[in-house]
Structure 1
Amino acid sequence: SIKSKNNFLKKYEITNKNKILSKIDFEFQEELKLHNPYESNFFNKYDAISNPLSKEKNAKEELKYNTILFKQLFPLCANYLNPQNIAILLASTRIVGMKIPGLHSIYSSLNLNFSNDNIENKQLIYNYEKHHSIECYLIDFISPCKGSIKAFIRPQLVKNLNYKSLVLKYPNISENKNFKEQKALVIGASSGLGNTCAKILALGGAKILATYHTKNIQEDIPNCDFLQYNVLKPSKISIEKIKKFNPTHIYYFATPKISTQNNKLDRKMLFDFLDYYIFGLEKILSFTSPISSSSSSSSSIEDLPLDMKEYSIAKAAMEIYMKYLKKTKNIEIKIPRFPRAKTNQTLSFIPQDLKETDELIVSMLLNKELK
């Protein structure tokens, strides 16, 4: 049996046939809770739209955090880190994510020298400066610790011109209906060059079947149907739909992520490019009979950037492959060497001189030289 006198004293009796064999008394003392000067459960929401970057010197950020939630999420940190250090680390994330630079930011690096001085200091004091040419911010901490953060604004995803904007930009194509005789299969039309190609073809009166891999196309393009298609492992259903469509023209823009490689030639990366650029198209041509096949090559074949060896080799191989198509299948081919275009594959922190995708596609479709 167990008897209790109060909340802080417990008495246990071990009995056998009503005979007490042993008694154990436990005395409990309420745990001493140390005051955490940085404890807070609420924060004011920062509105980046109505609060532009502060220009003031010695800006301040409150050193407060939800201790209960933090302990649930990071129990080891809560047990072993100084509360002030925790508050400073969390405040640094709020500064970068909500203020400087704020929306679409990247917390790149942190260098801090913690101090046990000013333990009751409840404000983090800092200054910042922006790099003169790129979206990079250096944030310097003044008190209660010394240190710095480097943060960037993440490049925004590229949005191609929508169909209505292209109508206004290219009225002659819209009026002349240059592509009205085409049944165009556009592979890789969810973004970038393929997406723009589908819209320019629609502008010129073509009937289009546009494919995407994972990202569904959420756009209204006239005379255009959409199909999920994996160039590496096409489904039987997608193959049958393409057969039924019976394209006269194929525009092939499927590509893996274009990544850079500074070391020795990467066999896997090279073969991935070849699978997309050659064998993916070869598969489509095995069950279609177009009169024309078009794709984009790259100026990297001439420029030979050292960090894009695999990509450049694969694009060069694709050019040769398509020349064989012309020779063996009597297919008209177009494979212009495009300069770097403004797509999500070419996002960078460093300012670049990039061509618009619609200018490149129009030059290919109308056999015009780029300006």
Structure 2
Amino acid sequence: MITRLAISGYRSLRDVTLRLGPVTVVTGQNGSGKSSLYRSLRLLADVADGGVVRSLAAEGGIASALWAGPEAFSRAMRARAEPVQGTVLTKSVAMRLGFSSDDYGYAIDLGLPQPSSSFFSRDPAIKAEALWAGQSLTRRTVLAERRGAAFRLRSRAHGGWSDDWNAIGPVDSMLVQGAGPGDGVELLMMRERLRRWRFYDDLRVDRNAPARRPQVGTFTPVLAADGADLAAALRTIVEVGDDVALKTAVADAFDGATVAVAPDFSIEMRQHGLLRPLGAGELSEGTLRYLLLVAALLSPRPPELMVLNEPESHLNPALHEALARLLTAAGKRCQLIVVTHAPALVEALGTDPDTVTIRLHKDLGESHPDAEARDPDPWSWPSR
């Protein structure tokens, strides 16, 4: 389980270190930084597939993703006694992301590329990376490190460094280029862990949603990011997952209703008072959304981390308590991060002692978490 998350220089998250729990709820007003925190997690996952540079390019490039305020605020600026203005930089321009758990930690430092005439001169460059054992990065715990165009690995045989510095491209992560058997096995393990993270923020429920259209059914232990294979995912839960939990979740939300999957992989939802089942095309947006969340959260192959962005979208507030029970139960099987602005859902999830709530607010364009969500221990970033 990830216990600490650190973000520096990314959009409104100028410098935060957060503690996470089995279920972490991120909430706050619109514009408080919830989406930035969510996207920072996606960027970390993209590192494992070598796609972090492409993802930043899709956001408008690193220049538009960097913290847009001054390097530091004076007391007069914070007191509104003088206007906010730029200051002379004392540190390198950097966007840094990292996390740690009881066994491993990882961090990446992205910065501006060297000036050139290349068409790709605006691509961000990876300036530094580190993989370490345990919660904190130190000289004794580091297992692999990258500085600029070079990286090296700790030897599993004798504990020293296995080789001199090896060359690596400015847009290539050591999780991709350095992973392998032997001394690179920790990088390989971290890469695969990141690849297994799941994100659900695009579960469409409109009239043309993929989940409403007929699909070819195959064994589906993991719901697709767009929910297209909903019927197959539900049937997989019935056959190899927790069928009782599926029945309970549906009945809990819809007054004893049941859902089944026909041999042609069409959805059949039966509700009291109706003489025939309803198909996926007839379901309301809220009902379909809830079924998609059920299929995601009851996956027979739970990931280490699942991140849901505004799962309450399209749901009637009356369903928030049922959704909270579903999320709390799923948090016993995998770590969850839930980004939401629904007070009723936040309150319902907060009744579980394992839930950590991160409330964000913004001051002078900078996102701040409440004091109880901040991690008090210092965070060390890899050196460039």
The answer to whether TM tops 0.5 is: no
Please say which structure displays the higher CA radius of gyration.
1
| Coarse TM-score class (shorter-chain normalised) | under 0.3
What TM-score comes out, normalization by structure 1 length? Answer: 0.23
What TM-score comes out, normalization by structure 2 length? Answer: 0.22
